[in-house]
Structure 1
């Protein structure tokens, strides 16, 4: 990745598309299971992290809404 600015080279390992493209290339070329295993595990790890962040964000967002709804109904 010599033609890409340094900022994108830093972000490159954290992007899911990097591993998706690697997985497709390994699958099509049939180079072996090592690249497929690595790319699949990284993609599953990214999926788990994103799912945990989504669930925790939704939990705290709904908790805040429930608290504000309770405050509204408690006022005379």
Structure 2
């Protein structure tokens, strides 16, 4: 199910992956999900379950709210 503007979960998965040099496939293998799921998450086409959100946060070793938000994250840089 695609999120609407009111219930979209914003995330920083792509930024964290790029920062750490991890491919979508590497992340999906580490999380035990299909690599396309990571793409859907990054594009906001799919909201993760609580369990998956917590596993992603644990993988990146950051609090879940660093990765996910109900509000858009501010843009970095100009």
**Is this a same-fold pair by TM over 0.5?**
no
TM-score (norm 1): 0.24
> Which structure has greater helix proportion?
1
> Which structure has greater strand proportion?
2
Higher relative contact order (CA 8 A, sep 6+): 2
TM-score (norm 2): 0.23
Between Structure 1 and Structure 2, whose CA radius of gyration is higher? 1
